[in-house]
Chain A
Amino acid sequence: MEHTLSLFVRSIFVDNMIFASFLGMCSYLAVSKNVKTSLGLGIAVTFVLLVTVPVDYLLQTKVLAKDGIFGQDLTYLSFILFIAVIAGIVQLVEMVVERFSPSLYGALGIFLPLIAVNCAIMGASLFMQQRINMDPATSSQAIGGLGDAFVYALSSGIGWILAIVGLAAIREKMAYTDVPRPLRGLGITFITVGLMAMAFMCFSGLSL
């Protein structure tokens, strides 16, 4: 329980997807122009994470690992298998969003199918794969079971939402400021993200 809580807090603040490992930057920069759309994208990303990471965890431990059903080490197939799972699930999410929230579907536009190539999703699966071998007793990053994989996916998603909504709010205000011409748009956004990352660095000593 203690480990789970620690993993949860750590993944949101210390190992934040955006500020510590730069995952999902493309859609992060492109969709963070207003708070509402960015919240929608954040929720979509979290949902996809919640499905893909546990599925990939099961694949990794039950199929690809040495003691899996094939009885041999197939981890070299993990890239292809993970990306296929992600692409399939994104297709599913797209259909669900289109059915239940056409307005969100319209607002996300091209970025919904692009979640498939969002590094946050693939990155979470790859980090999960790395962390399986860590010892839960010594490292608060370790992922020891399906429950941990689930918690990791949820908290990474929350961290991502936190980052994108924060940036969107700042950018909404920044529309009224006088930024030097060549710095406008992308340049100033990067510098803002850098400053936000610095603020998040103060969590780095956090442990439970």
Chain B
Amino acid sequence: MSQLFSKANRQVFATPLGLNHPVLVQVLGICSALAVTAKLEPAIVMGLSVTIITSFSNVAISLLRKTIPMRIRIIVQLVVVAALVTIVSLVLKAFAYDVSVQLSVYIGLIITNCILMGRLEAFAMMNGPWESFLDGIGNGIGYAYILVIIGGVRELFGAGTLLDHQIIPTSLYDAGYVNNGMMTMPAMAMILLGCVIWAQRALTKDEQK
């Protein structure tokens, strides 16, 4: 058991959350990060789905890695991911229909999410199943928390709610406060992500190019 949570393995889990963050540092998986964050709920569901799919596809590819011929590895990886995404999409349709309608094509687009392909190519092809699983979870959570931050800010300022509960009190509206409709527009998502990256780089004092 202690071997399962050795220092090296904890590192595998922790680096994607900070130093090697998939969205902020490696700029992977931006498309869906922006498109589903107009509200908090779809952002959380999307983050969870991606975490599940990254970890399990990492495990599957890691188990298969010695049998996959190098030349056709991309297609094999895509098919494994596509199968997992189909499962997740059907599960969502069955148990959370409203959210799956809101997410529309973006669930299908997890297949082409660069985080997945990036992790499969860079990690799962050379590491064992357990490390790959941790790496997948770490990257998924790293991705999910950005989604939650942006989704939370956009819903709070765009509609005054969080998870559809009214947060901003009516007295504030009476005093002249107005929801910022701009926040629900796609344009604001990009500007917000730009600011998150700005904050993260300013805090970590990363050496800049």
Interface pair B112/A187, CB less than 8 Å apart: no
Quick check: is A106 within 8 A (CB to CB) of the other chain? no
Q: Which residues of A contact B10 (CB under 8 A)?
A: none
Interface size class of B (residues with CB under 8 A): 35 or more
Quick check: is A119 within 8 A (CB to CB) of the other chain? yes
The distance in angstroms between the C-alpha atoms of A89 and B20, with both chains bound, is 33
Interface pair B191/A122, CB less than 8 Å apart: no
Of A18-26, A133-141, A142-150, the one touching chain B: A18-26
Option from A21, A80, A188 in Cβ contact (under 8 Å) with B79: A80
Interface size class of A (residues with CB under 8 A): 35 or more
What's the nearest-Cβ distance from chain A to residue B185, in Å? 6
The distance in angstroms between the C-alpha atoms of A36 and B163, with both chains bound, is 45
The distance in angstroms between the C-alpha atoms of A127 and B106, with both chains bound, is 10
Q: Which residues of B contact A21 (CB under 8 A)?
A: 35, 186
- Contacting B at CB under 8 A, from A11-41, are 19-26, 29-30
User: Quick one: given A26-B114, A83-B111, A187-B197, are A119 and B31 in contact (CB under 8 Å)?
Assistant: yes
Option from B74, B117, B186, B202 in Cβ contact (under 8 Å) with A182: B202
Option from A19, A25, A87, A201 in Cβ contact (under 8 Å) with B30: A25
Quick one: closest A residue to B197, CB to CB? A187
Quick one: closest A residue to B193, CB to CB? A190
- Contacting B at CB under 8 A, from A109-164, are 113-114, 116-119, 121-123, 126-127, 130
Q: Which residues of B contact A26 (CB under 8 A)?
A: 27-31, 114
Most buried by B among A30, A113, A181: A181
Quick one: closest A residue to B36, CB to CB? A22
Quick check: is A194 within 8 A (CB to CB) of the other chain? yes
**Per-residue interface assignment for chain B, residues 178 to 203, with 1 indicating a CB less than 8 Å from any chain A CB and 0 otherwise:** 00000001111111011101100110
The distance in angstroms between the C-alpha atoms of A198 and B75, with both chains bound, is 37
The distance in angstroms between the C-alpha atoms of A77 and B31, with both chains bound, is 23
Interface pair A127/B74, CB less than 8 Å apart: no
Quick check: is A96 within 8 A (CB to CB) of the other chain? no
Most buried by A among B28, B112, B185: B112
What's the nearest-Cβ distance from chain B to residue A18, in Å? 9
Interface pair B197/A25, CB less than 8 Å apart: no
Q: Which residues of A contact B112 (CB under 8 A)?
A: 83, 117-119, 121-123
Interface pair B34/A25, CB less than 8 Å apart: yes
User: Quick one: given A84-B78, A182-B201, are A22 and B35 in contact (CB under 8 Å)?
Assistant: yes
Quick check: is B108 within 8 A (CB to CB) of the other chain? yes
**13 residue pairs bridging A and B, Cβ less than 8 Å apart:** A19-B187, A26-B29, A76-B90, A79-B82, A79-B86, A84-B78, A116-B74, A123-B105, A123-B109, A130-B104, A130-B105, A186-B194, A197-B186
Interface residues of A (CB under 8 A from B): 19-26, 29-30, 76-77, 79-80, 83-84, 87, 113-114, 116-119, 121-123, 126-127, 130, 180-191, 193-195, 197-198, 201
